[in-house]
Amino acid sequence: MKCVSVSVLLCVLWSQTHGVHIRLQNQNSSERLDAAVTADLSAVIRRVDRRFLSVTIDASLASEEKFMYLLSAPKVRTLARALSPAFLRFGGTRQDFMVFVPRRPRPVSGVAAEPSCGELDLPSWLEEKLKADWTQQKLILLREDLQRKYRRVKFTESTVDLLHSFSSCSGMDLIFGLNALLRTADNTWNSSNALSLLQYCESKQYRMSWELGNEPNSYEKKAGIRVDGYQLGQDFTRLREMMSESKLYRDAGLFGPDVGQPRDHRVDILEGFLQSGAQAVDACTWHHYYVNGRDTSLEDFLDPEVLDTLALKTGEVLEKVKLASPGKPVWLGETSSAYGGGAVGLSDTFVAGFMWLDKLGLAARLGLDVVMRQVFIGSGSYHLVDDNLDPLPDYWLSLLYKTLVGPEVLKVEASSSVARSKRVRLYLHCANRNRYRSGAVTLMSMNLSKKPARISIHALVSSGTVEAFVLESEQPGEDGLYSRSVRLNGVVLKMVDDKTLPDLKGLRLPPSEHLQLPAYSLAFFVLTDARAAGCV
């Protein structure tokens, strides 16, 4: 794959409407490129959910209930807490093979004597044992995935208790995925097991939301059962009726159908579901992955055309939902770089950040309200936290996004050959108001090129403070794209200890300073004195 390298000069000029005009020029190429990018600071074009960047825990972690105790590890809780507010979705392929088997007498309704968050730390010796056992468990799970043969998994109150404790102590809102493959003789959903689980959760006063089934388009392949979209919608309607009979869950969230990205009959499943089940759900969820994790390459992760496929698929889903249920929120209910558990040696390395940051920027601009990253911790190679419970590059990228980026999306448009090469990609939001004053904006930038880009801001804007947060691999050049360590403004990011994250310090640039976007880098530039009318 040929890399088109550009050196970019951004000249910012105020328009009469208080927009921003940004000029891009190629300064060291024999083929000079001139393009204009226009950013309008006068109005917000979209506003996403405050939990826009959310995370998942794959149901495979409960394949043996003991592994759920990893969620009590101090390091895991520290890392999760820093990403709040967020949804925490528990689901995935194995949710449709899980059966709730209660072991304890049901407590009196309204009585929930839960230990405090500080009392739940996992002993270090047990953490080490579980991490070692999980390494072997992943091999078993991988074999099941390759053979598409999944065993039924029984789970008890402990799984639910640990999940709820983890989500509440982390400041996240739990979404629990129910088994939709429990069917009756006439192929309707058998809701008895779900009812038992709801009753237990209500007795514990666990506030949570619900889903039903995962990727129903693949039921025939993985279970030999075909459920059409219309029937699935009726199943969701039945679940909503059950929830309405509960004092605790009558107003709780219900999301679905968690269908795979549009392709052949998957569109038919979504359309059928929307006909019968659109009114039952609070948001329509679908899944997106760019590539097959078993046959992808480094070049795919840097290919602008691959990144742009998200826009095409999103457009198809938004159109279907708008026709059937205008105004219904649409979420990416599960997403990452590569399906099939991720791409080994790529999905958990620095290069995966280009797919992740571009997805966050593009999804917000296109109108998706929530994006749930598969996975926070657990099976596969697309996790944010590795098997040693250490944060990977995409975790640090997610943490920076949460820290610096607000939910308000601002308009940015580009044209001409520099824009068409799409190797320098830009997204603009209001800055996070918990950290910055009103009017500040955050420019999300990425350079997929092997040569640096230079960003220069007109004095009217750059006379104020600009904070730069530039992420690069620990190692320079293309080899560094495979690294599992990341530098922020030259300093390698790592936890101080199991309960302490490092300070994310921006580099304050003096007035009129050029903004440098190094080769193969990701950056957030916060213009604290932009005085954006849309961000006031």
Which residues are designated catalytic? Answer: 215, 334
Dihedral sign computed on CA atoms, order 289, 290, 295, 297: negative
ω into 391 cis (within 30 of 0): no
Beta strands 466-473 and 405-414: pairing type? unpaired
* Angle of CA points 402, 408, 409, to nearest 5°: 105
Tokens of 473: 């691999």
Q: What is the DSSP string of 51-83?
A: T-EEEEEEGGGGSSGGGGGGGG-HHHHHHHHTT
CB of 23 within 8 A of CB of 11? Answer: yes
Angstrom distance (rounded) from CA 496 to CA 499: 8
Q: Which residues fall within 8 angstroms of residue 445, CB to CB, at 6 or more apart?
A: 424, 425, 426, 455, 517, 522, 523, 524, 525
Query: What are the respective helix, strand and coil percentages of the chain, to the nearest 5?
Result: 35, 25, 40
Q: How many CB atoms lie within 10 A of CB 432?
A: 17
**Which residues pair with residue 515 across a beta bridge?**
455
